[in-house]
Homo-oligomer: A and B are copies of this chain.
């Protein structure tokens, strides 16, 4: 029923009903007060993401580039004298929503492929990953040795280590936007990105261990590295044995549960559980989310799917969640790029060399692709982005010392920040250019 009076009544109506609807709760409610900065941040992030994304999508780019640039703008308005949004990136909760967003993204990407398909390109992924760790590391060593000949060789290796790990979020997102997740190139990139992330962490543990030993004048203990690998193995065995058993049976049992939303709730719980276990085992939570997607298969839940009024499968149910939360992650990544770092010529020169080392190093790794007819350049481009891992390595390095010398000083740290920003921003357009060309050929 739509009343003909609706419009003229609108103002008095809302003053009468909702007016009265209003007044003072947040003022007395300490919890609600925390929510307000998050709400404002979400409005800005969502609108910025959609505007930026639409702009770049119209020019044939991946929307993720628009989201990153929207974040870059929102996070750097301080440079133009506007400081009202300076605290936006630190708002409580926005980081957690972003992290849940990237978990759901990797879960979705995992759902589009499965273990046998990943295994079919497993040898290539392993080779690409190994080369993708070794080449940037050696190049990073020489870059650092060239700029800072007075530093300890172990410090050069540490700089090399910051170049190792591919940030799988960016590439996964571009592949998903282009619907190329399940292509041979897509699977090799995803597998290799995950593997070289791991190798990078082993490298970190070894190099940091060697530095600590050198600083204390002790011998290096290999046991700590073994423990890292051992925990990871424990998780993986649990994921395979318990996870795939659960996936096969829990969804069937759950068919007996009354109520709506059982399928989505169970899928989310499965994703979060594996992400938690991965994290508890010392792995990245996104590795767990990706594994959950790989293990979970539509045959496991066809009865639950049939019960949904729209016969929706898990990817369809996840889509509104990723629409909401995934852009939060990428806008936040953009926000965290501090453009003021670009102001120093010395830093920029070293950053340019590091970025070149990072990009060239990952092109070398494409030689590891074994499949014929596969686009090696696309694989190499997909491996370029360095994300938070590089920054985390650098910040660990800044806490380490050899004698009186800081392993990662402020100049090197700033250069790593620039390298991460450049490799992140440069990848979406390059990958879109290469893969979109291939789709049409």
- Which residue numbers of A lie inside 8 Å of B, CB to CB? 1-3, 5-6, 9-11, 13-29, 31-36, 38-40, 42-43, 46-47, 49-51, 53-54, 57-58, 63, 92-93, 95-97, 99, 114-120, 122, 125-126, 129, 191, 194-195, 197-199, 201-202, 204-205, 228-229, 231-233, 235-237, 239-241, 244, 254, 257-262, 264-266, 268-269, 272-273, 275-276, 278-285, 287, 290-291, 294, 310, 317-321, 323-324, 327, 388-389, 392-393, 396
Q: Say yes or no: A228-B39 contact (C-beta < 8 A), given A32-B99, A116-B2, A264-B324.
A: no
Tell me, rounded to whole Å, the shortest Cβ–Cβ distance linking A4 to chain B: 9
Asked if residues A257 and B54 are in contact (CB atoms below 8 Å), the reply is yes
CB distance from A392 to the nearest CB of B (A): 5
Q: List 7 A-B contacts (CB under 8 A).
A: A2-B114, A23-B232, A29-B388, A35-B279, A50-B257, A51-B257, A264-B323
Picked from B3, B46, B120, B318, the residue with its CB within 8 Å of the CB of A116 is B3
Q: Which residues on B sit within 8 Å (CB–CB) of A241?
A: 11
Q: A6-B115, A43-B272 are in contact. List 6 more A-B contacts (CB 8 A).
A: A19-B232, A23-B282, A26-B279, A28-B201, A47-B265, A50-B254
- How far does the Cβ of A283 sit from chain B's closest Cβ, in whole Å? 5
B3, B36, B118: the one contacting A285 at CB < 8 Å is B36
| Distance A239 CA – B22 CA, assembled complex (angstroms) | 11
Tell me, in angstroms, the Cα distance from A318 to B324 when the chains sit together. Answer: 10
Identical copies of this chain, number: 2
A243 to chain B, nearest CB (A): 9
Query: Closest B-chain residue to A317, C-beta based?
Result: B320
Whether A92 and B96, one on each chain, are in contact in the complex, defined by CB atoms closer than 8 angstroms, is yes
Contacts of A43 in B (CB 8 A): 269, 272-273, 276
User: Could you say which residues of chain B place their CB within 8 Å of the CB of A261?
Assistant: 50, 319-320, 323
CB distance from A189 to the nearest CB of B (A): 13
**A201 to B388, Cβ gap below 8 A?**
no
Contacts of A269 in B (CB 8 A): 42-43, 46-47, 50
- Complex contacts, A118 vs chain B, CB 8 Å: 13, 17
A190 to chain B, nearest CB (A): 10
Measured CB to CB, the nearest residue on chain B to A40 is: B276
Whether B116 contacts A42 by the Cβ 8 Å rule is: no
How far apart sit A2 and B264, CA to CA, in the bound complex (Å)? 24
**Which one, B116, B117, B202, B276, contacts A23 given CB within 8 A?**
B202
**Chain B residue contacts of A125, Cβ below 8 A:** 17
Instruction: Please name all residues of chain B whose beta carbon is closer than 8 Å to the beta carbon of A318 when the two chains form the complex.
Output: 320
Q: Which of B1, B33, B392 lies in contact with A29, CB distance below 8 A?
A: B392
Chain B hits for A14, CB < 8 A: 115, 236, 239-240, 291
Bound CA span A169–B406, Å = 55
Question: Known contacts being A50-B257, A118-B17, A272-B46, is A265 close to B323, with CB within 8 Å?
Answer: yes
Residues of chain B within 8 A (CB-CB) of A92 are: 92, 96
Partner of A276, one of B36, B284, B327: B36
Tell me the bound Cα distance from A237 to B11 in angstroms: 8
Among the listed B25, B95, B254, B327, which residue makes an inter-chain contact with A284, where contact means beta carbons less than 8 Å apart?
A: B25
How long is the Cα–Cα vector from A272 to B35 in the complex, in angstroms?
10
Instruction: Tell me whether A46 and B268 are in contact (CB under 8 A).
Output: yes
- Which residues of B lie under 8 Å from residue A50 when comparing CB positions? 254, 257, 259, 261-262, 265-266, 269
